[in-house]
Amino acid sequence: MAVKGRSGIRRALPFLLPSLAGGLLFSLLPIIISLFLSLTDWTGMTPISLNPVSFLPFIADNFTGFDNFKTILTTSEFWTVLSHNLYFIVLYLPLMLIFSMTCALIIGSRRHGSQVYRVLYYIPVLTSWVAGALIWKWLLSPVYGPVNNFLAIFGIEGPMWLQSEVWAMPSIVLASVWKDMGFYGMILLGGLKAINPEYYEAAGIDGADRCQIFFRITLPLLSSVIFYVVMLSLINAFQLFPQVMVMTTNAGPNGATEVMVERIYKYAFRFGKMGYAAAFSWLLFIVIMIFTLFQKLGERRFVSYDN
Amino acid sequence: MGKTKKALVFVLLSLLIAAPLFANGASESGDDVVTIRFEQFSGSDGTGSGEALRQMIAVFEEQNPDIKVELQTIGYDDYFTQLQSKVVGQNTADVFELNYENFVSYASQGVLADISGYLGDTSGFNQTALEAFNYNGIQYGVPNSFSNCVLFYNKDLFDQAGVAYPTDDWTWSDVETASKQIMSALGEGIWGFYRPLTFNEFYKGVAQNGGALMNEDGSAFTVNTPENVETAEIMAGWQIDSHIMPTEAEMGGMGDWDLFKSGRLAMLVTGVWAFTDFSANCSFDWDITIEPGNTAKATHFFSNGYVVSADSEHKEEATRLAQFLAGSSEASAIRVAASWELPPVTYEDVLSSYLEMTPPENREAVFESLDYLVPPPVVVQQAEMSAIIDSYLQQILYGSMSAQEALDACQAELESKISL
Amino acid sequence: MTIRKCLQSIAFHILAVMISVIALVPFLWMISTSLKSSGALLAVPIQWIPEEPTLQAYVRLFSLTGILRSIVNSFIVTAGAVVFTLASSSLAAFALSKIEFRGREGVFMLFIASMMLPSQVLFIPLYLIMNNLGLVNNLIAIILPYLFQAFAVFMLRQQMMSIPDTYLDAAAIDGAGLLRSFITVFLPMCRTALVTLAIIISMNAWNDYLMPLVILTSSENYTLPIILNSLSGQFKTGYDLLMAGSLVSIAPLLVVYIVFQRYFASGLQVGGIKG
């Protein structure tokens, strides 16, 4: 068992200190400030000071209570945008898991060339979204793009992708899977490598085939890492932003790719409504929190720890 | 393990060596030399105008040995995000750049300095452009460039189809007729006209049809008047009825400039900043003319200006820099030589050297268009207003609302969200 | 049996190569664009191999004022960020996984929750804090926030939880023993996760852009992304230069990645010890 006893916190504190200090100053404090701001109608375009003597009166001067929250929840925009995020997640999550798992299995196999693949699959992760989005815009170009030309070989008429209300979000999903598969693949690989080879040896003796080994041994033993990847990717997917900004100017045809953080960014830095943006973020926070809690419940039920 | 340790030691050592670099680099270069921080987006090394800007600054520093300029160039996409943060933290540069659309938002927040007291002779400025940076009677900035939109046309396509070139008196119906003739003569893949239904084009289109988006004194929106509904119907019709213009889907992600440069578009309404690109990359003859209206003529006005921070400790020097870069004949000459938009000045020699350059042959149209300038409606919540209008114009194009329905809903949303 | 193995191997490589193509096509296209003379991005038909390849974009890139200095600054920021993150996060992860204390789960949930608020809205408050600390125009301000990386703590904790406590009991009789077993036993066993994190963090820090742009106000402190971003204009962007810049900024990351990726293989033995 781990180190126990009443002195636990005293022993733990020195280890936690650097991280906690950084967290208090650079994470918790900004979070508290944003909570204050969410109760105001501040534009975000006038000078403010963090000195409590002037900060608190400033909040009081601009105080509007829960008006921002009420407005957001009663306009249809919030719900439309939330549904766009959920649509993204429903498409993205399974695809991303399949691709990153495939990447991890390929890299993790001891065949020739796996080291080369390990480098290649990570290149999209290293590419910036600005460059990545340009290339995806071109790949998915309806008339001249290679993707539709490729589909045409099989007699399929490709969709209008980013120019279509229906396909704009799936296009974003494709580009995001491309960018993220190497990243999550690497985390899954860490889990794969941590599986005790004795399990495989035992399975080999029992004469199990590859498929059985994957579903009966690898997947269950990887479940904690998979849950971790799902949790991380959910948090990130709700905060989907740069690819939308660079791939679809003005948030897509007829607003088809307007998503939560895109709205938050526009309110904060384009429309001069910082207080409103802060309230919007706190609502997003609550949404993510609810999903994470559900996910935690699922983890308790399904994950088997190796220990 | 050994290697990891070594790597760690190496990293720590290099940090240690690099530590002096962390020291704050605020070195004073002399007692009487003032350093002016200058942040801007329009002079960019990505497009070649950055070099021209550095030349201007060099000339300025030579003429003003008491001032040293520290230039920071920021990409347009993030310029306003970083500017806003610096305003909140009271750490803005002494001189910074604003476009006309954002100018009122900042001027109304009290973060800009009144520079009328420091400005020298302003008679060399184009007065329309100068007045754009005057808010509530106070001069907060000087224009450094301005641009407008004209009608670009592909002469070769007109010749091939045997259609006469556009002239200054063309109206929308002439454009439509010519487009149809060219498209039926030259067949598939050729388009007649390109002018998207966006906020910028719409506000101008509204004026070209004798309407306006706001009433005279700017106290109320007038988006859904009958003439504006008609404007929206006609402009959307170019894409969905007469189909002389490709839809966004038919463009397939290609830009309007690329379509024109590929020689498959007869007429395009766009800004005069396309001259450099079109001169270099069009393999056919092209020219320009004042853009056609319906019942009236109206042209677009863009301008960037330099403003001085209200927090600046060197407002006089900062203004001197802003005025030199924006309006001096030396800086304007450099600007014209670099084909970097149009300097907002009236100096004969500068302007004549601008007019001498071809293509386009009819460069005078750039100046003639100025007679019909309609500045966009500018409100404090500028960006939000144009985003709302844009979203309803899209509803019309996607067929989810009629022009009347969309503009009615737009009017209602603007009234509830935008305070005037 | 051997035929089956052979077929399996072929199928494996076909799949692997297909994914490689998906991953690589955009990258190759970036290289191609950076070598084009006019950088006509959407030229029809697309030129895969530039007709007249030129290194002009790279020459222009490296003649930008202050680019070399900015690369040095980016290295400093990146190294600092990696050291800060790995040190503080592994310590915290150790405490949160191996030392029992009341409220441990609560502290951990706080760490996780901090990831759920979008950084865009925390941006101005964070900037104000740096401003108040007097760290404007100081590279330290870019590095300091890396002390707290909830995601890194999360990842390392996950890894440490899978290491049996038996390794701890033997070594950790007193406080000093705890630190010793952390350094001599647990850190080496988390090597895979640490290298993975180092790569992720160096990528983030190397590409970090908006905060440095606001914090760093004088040219001798600029980082590489600030210079690269200044290339995008109001009405148009020089794509050849942009792509050359992106490639130059990927290159060091790629080298670091290639050098360190073999540590993933050695993670295998670490996994083998435990059970």
pLDDT tens, residue by residue, A37-46: 999 999 888 8
Q: Residue B19 — very low, low, confident or very high, per pLDDT cuts 50/70/90?
A: very low
Strands B191-194 and B95-99 turn out to be unpaired
Residue A123 near residue A182 (C-beta atoms within 8 A): yes
User: How near does any CA of chain A get to the CA of C192, in Å?
Assistant: 7
Residue B291: φ, ψ to 5°: -75, 145
Tokens found for residue B412: 């209602």
Residue B407, classed as helix, strand or coil, is helix
**CA torsion angle for C39, C41, C43, C46 (degrees, to 10)?**
100
Closest residue, chain A, to C266 (C-alpha): A193
Give pLDDT, residue C273: 35
Q: Residue C270 — very low, low, confident or very high, per pLDDT cuts 50/70/90?
A: very low
Domain B149-301+374-417 in CATH: superfamily? Periplasmic binding protein-like II (3.40.190.10)
Residue B105 has pLDDT above 80, yes or no: yes
pLDDT tens, residue by residue, A142-172: 777 778 888 888 888 888 888 888 899 999 9
Q: Cα(first)–Cα(last) distance of chain B, in Å?
A: 67
Do the chains contact at C150 and A30, CB–CB below 8 Å?
Answer: no
Q: Tell me the residue type at A37.
A: L
Facing residue for B87 by CB, picked from A45, A250, A270: A45
Give pLDDT, residue C169: 65
Residue C202's domain comprises 65-273
Element (H, E) at B235: helix B226-240
Cα separations in angstroms, A133 against A237, B258, B349, C31, C228: 17, 18, 44, 15, 16
Facing residue for A127 by CB, picked from C26, C124, C264: C26
Do the chains contact at C121 and A9, CB–CB below 8 Å?
Answer: no
Cα separations in angstroms, B44 against B36, B40, B221, C36, C78: 19, 9, 37, 20, 27
Give the residue-averaged pLDDT of A278-292: 93
Residue C241 near residue C61 (C-beta atoms within 8 A): yes
Give the residue-averaged pLDDT of B349-370: 87
Tokens found for residue A232: 């991380």
Facing residue for A123 by CB, picked from C27, C129, C267: C27
Do the chains contact at C26 and A136, CB–CB below 8 Å?
Answer: yes
Residue with the two structure tokens 């304007």: B332
Number of domains in chain C: 1
Q: Tell me the residue type at C251.
A: A
**CA torsion angle for C22, C23, C29, C35 (degrees, to 10)?**
-160
Question: Please, what is the average pLDDT of chain B?
Answer: 87
The DSSP-derived string for B336-380 is: HHTT-SB-SB--HHHHHHHHH--SSTTTHHHHHGGGGB-PPP--T
**What's the CA gap between C35 and C29, in Å, rounded?**
10
Question: Please, what is the average pLDDT of chain C?
Answer: 81
Considering the domain boundaries, does residue C104 fall inside one? yes
Residue B43 near residue C65 (C-beta atoms within 8 A): no
Do the chains contact at C148 and A127, CB–CB below 8 Å?
Answer: no
Give pLDDT, residue B26: 42
Q: How many Cβ atoms sit within 10 Å of the Cβ of residue A114?
A: 17
Cα separations in angstroms, C227 against A295, B43, B77: 42, 13, 14
Closest residue, chain C, to A194 (C-alpha): C271
Residue B70 has pLDDT above 70, yes or no: yes
**What's the CA gap between A44 and B383, in Å, rounded?**
14
Give the residue-averaged pLDDT of A236-263: 85
Give pLDDT, residue B1: 40
User: How near does any CA of chain B get to the CA of C97, in Å?
Assistant: 23
Residue A2 has pLDDT above 70, yes or no: no
Considering the domain boundaries, does residue C53 fall inside one? no
- Residues of A with Cβ-Cβ distance to C200 under 8 angstroms: 183
Do the chains contact at C231 and B4, CB–CB below 8 Å?
Answer: no
Peptide bond between residue C45 and the one before it cis (omega within 30 degrees of 0): yes
pLDDT tens, residue by residue, B374-415: 878 878 888 889 889 998 998 898 888 999 999 999 999 999
> What is the percentage of chain A residues whose pLDDT exceeds 90?
39
Query: Which string of b and e fits A160-178 if b means at least 16 CB within 10 Å?
Result: bbbbbbebbbbbbbbbbbb
Strand order across the B265-271 sheet? B191-194, B265-271, B149-154, B286-289
Give the residue-averaged pLDDT of B79-93: 91
Give pLDDT, residue B27: 43
**What's the CA gap between C225 and C222, in Å, rounded?**
8
Considering the domain boundaries, does residue C118 fall inside one? yes
Residue A276 near residue A68 (C-beta atoms within 8 A): yes
Give pLDDT, residue C171: 56
Do the chains contact at B49 and C233, CB–CB below 8 Å?
Answer: yes
Q: Which of B92, B311, B384 to mutate to test the interface with A (most CBs of A within 10 A)?
A: B384
Q: What residue segments make up the domains of chain A, in order of their start?
A: 62-302
- Is B91 touching C (CB cutoff 8 A)? yes
Q: Report the CATH number at residue C217.
A: 1.10.3720.10
Domain A62-302 in CATH: superfamily? MetI-like (1.10.3720.10)
- Is B255 touching C (CB cutoff 8 A)? yes
Facing residue for C131 by CB, picked from B42, B91, B254: B91
- Is A242 touching B (CB cutoff 8 A)? no
Do the chains contact at C83 and B18, CB–CB below 8 Å?
Answer: no
- Residues of A with Cβ-Cβ distance to B80 under 8 angstroms: 269-270
Residue B12 has pLDDT above 70, yes or no: no
Residue C158 has pLDDT above 90, yes or no: no
Contacts of B248 (CB under 8 A, 6+ apart): A163, A253, B196, B397
pLDDT tens, residue by residue, B58-68: 999 999 999 99
The top-scoring range by mean pLDDT among A271-275, C116-120, C233-237 is A271-275
**What's the CA gap between B275 and B289, in Å, rounded?**
13
Give the residue-averaged pLDDT of B340-358: 85
Q: Tell me the residue type at B10.
A: F
User: How near does any CA of chain B get to the CA of C209, in Å?
Assistant: 10
Cα separations in angstroms, B90 against B93, B111, C127, C129, C164: 9, 9, 11, 13, 53
Closest residue, chain C, to A275 (C-alpha): C121
pLDDT tens, residue by residue, C84-103: 999 999 999 999 988 888 88
| Chain A with chain C: Cβ pairs closer than 8 A | 292
The DSSP-derived string for chain A is: --B-STTHHHHHHHHHHHHHHHHIIIIIHHHHHHHHHTTB---S-S-----HHHHHHHHHHHB-TTHHHHHHHHSHHHHHHHHHHHHHHHHHHHHHHHHHHHHHHHHHS-STTHHHHHHHTTHHHHS-HHHHHHHHHHHT-TTT-HHHHHHHHTT-----GGGSTTTHHHHHHHHHHHHHHHHHHHHHHHHHHTS-HHHHHHHHHHT--HHHHIIIIIHHHHHHHHHHHHHHHHHHHHT--HHHHHHSGGGSGGGTT--HHHHHHHHHHTSS-HHHHHHHHHHHHHHHHHHHHHHHHHHHHH-----
Lowest mean pLDDT among A75-89, A107-121, B87-101: A107-121
User: How near does any CA of chain C get to the CA of B273, in Å?
Assistant: 8
Give the residue-averaged pLDDT of C132-139: 90
Cα separations in angstroms, B140 against B83, B173, B218, B302, B377: 17, 42, 21, 17, 19
- Residues of B with Cβ-Cβ distance to C127 under 8 angstroms: 85, 88-89
Give the residue-averaged pLDDT of A220-228: 85
Give the sign of the dihedral formed by CA A253, CA A255, CA A261, CA A262: positive
Residue with the two structure tokens 């001189």: B95
Give the residue-averaged pLDDT of B261-288: 90
Give pLDDT, residue C269: 37
User: How near does any CA of chain A get to the CA of B368, in Å?
Assistant: 33
* Residues pairing with B194 in the sheet: B268
- Is B280 touching C (CB cutoff 8 A)? yes
Q: What residue segments make up the domains of chain B, in order of their start?
A: 34-146+303-346, 149-301+374-417
Facing residue for A23 by CB, picked from C99, C114, C196: C114
pTM score? 0.86
Distant-in-sequence contacts of A32-38, Cβ < 8 A, 24+ apart: A33/C125, A33/C128, A34/A278, A34/A281, A34/A282, A34/C117, A34/C121, A34/C122, A34/C125, A35/A278, A35/A282, A37/A274, A37/A275, A37/A278, A37/C125, A38/A68, A38/A69, A38/A275, A38/A278, A38/A279, A38/A281, A38/A282
Residue A266 has pLDDT above 60, yes or no: yes
Task: Put residue B30 in one of left, alpha, beta given phi > 0 → left and psi -120 to 50 → alpha.
Answer: left
Residue B393 near residue B195 (C-beta atoms within 8 A): no
Facing residue for A272 by CB, picked from B251, B253, B381: B381
Facing residue for A3 by CB, picked from C12, C89, C98: C98
Q: Which of A42, A267, A270 to mutate to test the interface with B (most CBs of B within 10 A)?
A: A270
Facing residue for B252 by CB, picked from A142, A270, A273: A142
Give pLDDT, residue C83: 95
Residue B309, classed as helix, strand or coil, is strand
Give pLDDT, residue C1: 56
Considering the domain boundaries, does residue C52 fall inside one? no
pLDDT tens, residue by residue, C160-208: 887 887 777 665 556 667 888 888 888 888 887 888 888 889 888 998 8
Give pLDDT, residue B339: 81
Facing residue for A132 by CB, picked from C26, C88, C129: C26
The answer, yes or no, to whether ipTM is higher than 0.90 is: no
Q: Tell me the residue type at B343.
A: P
- Is A277 touching B (CB cutoff 8 A)? no
Length of chain B: 420
| CATH label, B34-146+303-346, candidates 2.30.130.10, 3.40.50.620, 3.20.19.10, 3.40.190.10 | 3.40.190.10
Residue A185 near residue A232 (C-beta atoms within 8 A): no
- Residues of A with Cβ-Cβ distance to C113 under 8 angstroms: 285, 289
**What's the CA gap between A33 and A282, in Å, rounded?**
12
User: Which chains are within 8 Å of A by 3+ CB pairs?
Assistant: B, C
Tokens found for residue A233: 């990717």
pLDDT tens, residue by residue, B186-234: 988 899 999 999 998 999 999 999 999 999 888 899 999 999 999 999 9
Contacts of B198 (CB under 8 A, 6+ apart): B390, B393
